[in-house]
Chains A and B, each alone.
Chain A
Amino acid sequence: MPAVQETVDQVRSLDVDQYKYGFFTDIESEKAPKGLNEDTVRFISAKKDEPEWMLEWRLEAFRRWQTMQEPEWARVSYPRIDYQDLYYYSAPKRPTQLSIDDIDPEILKTYEKLGIPLRERDALLGIESTGGSKVAVDAVFDSVSVATTFKEELAKAGVIFMPISEAIREYPELVRKYLGSVVPVTDNYFATLNSAVFSDGSFVYVPKGVRCPMELSTYFRINERNTGQFERTLIIADEGAYVSYLEGCTAPQRDENQLHAAVVELVALADAEIKYSTVQNWYPGDKDGKGGIYNFVTKRGDCRGDRSKISWTQVETGSAITWKYPSCILRGDNSQGEFYSIAISNGYQQVDSGTKMIHLGKNTSSRIISKGIAAGHSDNTYRGLVSAHRKATGARNFTNCDSLLIGDKCGAHTVPYIESKNSSAQFEHEATTSKISDDQLFYCRQRGLDPEEATALIVNGFVKDVLQQLPMEFAVEAQKLIAVSLEGSVG
């Protein structure tokens, strides 16, 4: 059909070239020597001024990692990564986390360009003009956190929000208690690597009964060439606490692939709730599939207390390869886990993403809504596991995975695993794959929408029930991002 041919041509001509955050900030940086050995680990630990126990923890992880094999089960393919050809630490030379006026102006400019004001007064101005609500930001630039906003105001509520490297020094007992308690050091190849060389990320502790007074967010930026980013985030909501957290990610446009291997751990104690949202927009590579970020991430939440709740929402539009399964361990009785995902792939992107819902406690429930959208030559896989332990009486899960294909060179795959060792568990799974039809496009265009407006409208309709889960301010952003990443994918 002619429309399909045109689609293919358009995809060829436009593709993923729409990446708007591909610039590079030219600043002086300090790096660890290239390659990975015990000295690299010691170097990072020393840079962070870490206590001895932390260094030991890292070294143990590193020794373990050396015995491990890179996983190959995901539906992604990439050339072998030479782990000795990477930098594991890179930080701007000028000191960070000081008063905002001491931060390198180039870095401030970078974040301004990305639309993330690091000066609190600018952030407040932005809120006044848009009518939004206050969001505290931790800005991570390559391997270090450069600034964290609204720290004092949060401290008044008892909320700790700071770079994890700072938390290790200031709240060692909290960090020691929880770090690695959700994603063990030995969990998987990339998580173990991260445990050895993680550089920065955010630490959040919301004390008993406190509702965090504002949205928290971390903005990750990879800047330096040949450098991996190993983010480590730890969020703890104590009994009855509530926190909503958002992370955003971008990187410069480069021909080489860069590695981002993060670990995120969430702990929700009794009656606590954590909402974790991600808008992932790492550089996806160019239209021929050259360059882009390898996003190999381990994210897991532990509903440790009864009636606790963890909710993951992700909008994934970036990265050359995404390997990511934000999961929930439903340990507490009556705890709840949720996973809402929109994964968009275009160009030659490969996405293998999904979730694991591990039901351990009684009457635990989980809900999975996944929307995959594939365009161009991309591959988009949903991989999910729902399991019920034999003691998980009354476990319930509802899964709905829909895929939408744009064009005829892309693929969508659904790989669900269901394991139930308890006969009272009720697991439901629904999956559909559809295509934006030429009829839908024609109908929308006949009403006056151009092809891109029409596609955006149809796709937004398709992902609506996930977008609704995002905090309002971000939903609007995400909607725009979806439109941008699909630009040119339909003729």
Chain B
Amino acid sequence: MALLEIDNLHAKIDGEHGKEILKGLSLKVNPGEVHAIMGPNGSGKSTLSYILAGKDDYEVTDGSVSLDGEDLLEMEIDERAAKGVFLAFQYPVEVPGVATMTFLRSALNAQRKKRGEEEISTPDFLRLVKDKAAGLGISQDMLRRGVNVGFSGGEKKRAEILQMAVLEPKVAILDETDSGLDIDALKVVSEGVNALRSPDRAMIVITHYQRLLNHIVPDFVHVMHKGRIVRSGGKELALELEANGYAEYQQDAA
């Protein structure tokens, strides 16, 4: 049984005349694997990540998604998080007045509570965050500031990876984590992600460009177009896309 299994997923924007965005997408992800999903703008990549996370703005009209054999689509957003689904946002959201440290702790304890685990002790928590933050070059000052408030683009992305490191998900979805990053920031973030690769954890890396995949080397690459996966292959597929662009797919579809 795959860790995450998406089968023939159809979804549209919620509402009477909502546009259909996913049109029969299937994907199997096993523990330890890193899957890259590439595709032109508007192919439905971000929508896929939102639907997996449970965002309200979409309606699944057909197909299924299971996590560890359980129906993911039946679960509340926070329940999915507690079961190990983590989304690194393309545009991380600001929460003014809530220190990053407080946010991390509330999130971690909320997840632990839902899983029937004890809350983490203060010293353990501080140690955990300190370790993980150091590797990502996140200062104590940043941890005291409001979540994502006044963070630069690079800081926001690093903070997302820090959250992922602290929450230790089973399936991490990285939505355009490379967008808005210069090459140095990209390296730091990629190293942070690579440090979290583990035989128990799967990752879905959504990106428009191949350059991220030089740093986070995937096991599989999928090309998404018009709400479906139209081609799958190994990491060399990304290079091919880099050379030829998405034109081929866009023509096919036209």
Which residue from chain B places its CB closest to the CB of A465 in the assembled complex? B97
Give min CB distance, B110 to chain A, whole Å: 4
Quick check: B167 and A461 within 8 Å, CB to CB? no
Which residue from chain B places its CB closest to the CB of A443 in the assembled complex? B93
Quick check: A458 and B95 within 8 Å, CB to CB? yes
Contact with B along A1-28 (1 / 0, CB 8 A): 1110010000000000000000000000
Quick check: A457 and B81 within 8 Å, CB to CB? no
Which among B54, B94, B97, B107 is the interface contact of A460 at CB below 8 angstroms?
B97
The answer to whether B24 has its CB under 8 Å from any CB of chain A is no
The answer to whether A462 has its CB under 8 Å from any CB of chain B is yes
Give min CB distance, B201 to chain A, whole Å: 17
Quick check: B167 and A447 within 8 Å, CB to CB? yes
Give min CB distance, A290 to chain B, whole Å: 32
A90–B108 alpha-carbon span in the complex (Å)? 51
A447–B56 alpha-carbon span in the complex (Å)? 15
Residues of A within 8 A of B31 (CB): none
Contact with A along B140-178 (1 / 0, CB 8 A): 000000100000000000000001000100000000000
Quick check: B107 and A462 within 8 Å, CB to CB? no
Which residue from chain A places its CB closest to the CB of B83 in the assembled complex? A448
Residues of B within 8 A of A1 (CB): 14, 56-57
Quick check: B103 and A447 within 8 Å, CB to CB? yes
Quick check: B95 and A448 within 8 Å, CB to CB? no
Contact with A along B104-131 (1 / 0, CB 8 A): 0011101100100000000000000000
A453–B79 alpha-carbon span in the complex (Å)? 13
Which residue from chain B places its CB closest to the CB of A1 in the assembled complex? B57
Quick check: A460 and B98 within 8 Å, CB to CB? yes
The answer to whether A472 has its CB under 8 Å from any CB of chain B is no
Residues of A within 8 A of B93 (CB): 437, 439-440, 442-443
The answer to whether B92 has its CB under 8 Å from any CB of chain A is yes
The answer to whether A152 has its CB under 8 Å from any CB of chain B is no
Residues of B within 8 A of A457 (CB): 95, 98, 102-103, 106
Quick check: A440 and B95 within 8 Å, CB to CB? yes
Which residue from chain B places its CB closest to the CB of A445 in the assembled complex? B77
A448–B110 alpha-carbon span in the complex (Å)? 6
Looking at B77, B81, B89, B111, which has the most chain A CB atoms within 10 Å of its CB?
B77
Quick check: A450 and B56 within 8 Å, CB to CB? no
Residues of B within 8 A of A463 (CB): 97
Give min CB distance, B164 to chain A, whole Å: 10
Residues of A within 8 A of B53 (CB): 442, 446
| B1-60 interface with A by 8 A CB criterion | 14, 53-57
Give min CB distance, B95 to chain A, whole Å: 6
Main SS class of interface, A:
helix
Which among A3, A448, A461 is the interface contact of B56 at CB below 8 angstroms?
A3
CB contact under 8 A between A449 and B56, given known A439-B93, A457-B95, A461-B97: no
The answer to whether B234 has its CB under 8 Å from any CB of chain A is no
Residues of B within 8 A of A39 (CB): none
Residues of A within 8 A of B94 (CB): 440
Quick check: B96 and A462 within 8 Å, CB to CB? yes
Residues of B within 8 A of A442 (CB): 53, 55-56, 77, 93
Count residues on chain A whose CB falls below 8 Å from chain B CBs: 28
Residues of A within 8 A of B80 (CB): 446
Contact with A along B58-85 (1 / 0, CB 8 A): 0000000000000000001110111000
Count residues on chain B whose CB falls below 8 Å from chain A CBs: 33
Contact with B along A155-191 (1 / 0, CB 8 A): 0000000000000000000000000000000000000
A11–B132 alpha-carbon span in the complex (Å)? 40
Give min CB distance, B217 to chain A, whole Å: 26
Residues of A within 8 A of B97 (CB): 460-465
A465–B96 alpha-carbon span in the complex (Å)? 11
Quick check: B167 and A448 within 8 Å, CB to CB? yes
Contact with B along A423-455 (1 / 0, CB 8 A): 000000000000001111011111111110110
Quick check: B110 and A443 within 8 Å, CB to CB? no
The answer to whether B87 has its CB under 8 Å from any CB of chain A is yes
Which residue from chain A places its CB closest to the CB of B113 in the assembled complex? A448
Quick check: A6 and B78 within 8 Å, CB to CB? no
A2–B94 alpha-carbon span in the complex (Å)? 22
Residues of A within 8 A of B108 (CB): 448
Quick check: A450 and B110 within 8 Å, CB to CB? yes
Which residue from chain B places its CB closest to the CB of A458 in the assembled complex? B95
Quick check: A2 and B95 within 8 Å, CB to CB? no
Which among A439, A440, A448, A451 is the interface contact of B107 at CB below 8 angstroms?
A448
| A446-491 interface with B by 8 A CB criterion | 446-451, 453-454, 457-458, 460-465
Residues of A within 8 A of B111 (CB): 447-448
Quick check: A461 and B77 within 8 Å, CB to CB? no
A451–B76 alpha-carbon span in the complex (Å)? 10
A257–B149 alpha-carbon span in the complex (Å)? 44
A379–B55 alpha-carbon span in the complex (Å)? 30
Quick check: B96 and A461 within 8 Å, CB to CB? yes
A272–B230 alpha-carbon span in the complex (Å)? 76
Residues of A within 8 A of B163 (CB): 447
Which residue from chain A places its CB closest to the CB of B92 in the assembled complex? A443
Which residue from chain B places its CB closest to the CB of A6 in the assembled complex? B56
Residues of A within 8 A of B14 (CB): 1-2
Quick check: A449 and B110 within 8 Å, CB to CB? yes
A interface with B by C-beta (< 8 Å)? 1-3, 6, 437-440, 442-451, 453-454, 457-458, 460-465
Q: Could you give 22 example pairs across A and B, Cβ below 8 Å?
A: A1-B56, A3-B56, A442-B55, A442-B56, A442-B93, A443-B89, A445-B54, A445-B78, A446-B53, A446-B78, A448-B78, A448-B107, A448-B108, A449-B78, A449-B106, A450-B76, A453-B110, A457-B98, A457-B103, A461-B96, A461-B98, A465-B97
Which 3 residue pairs of A and B lie closest in terms of their CB atoms, listed nearest first? Answer: A461-B97, A461-B98, A448-B111
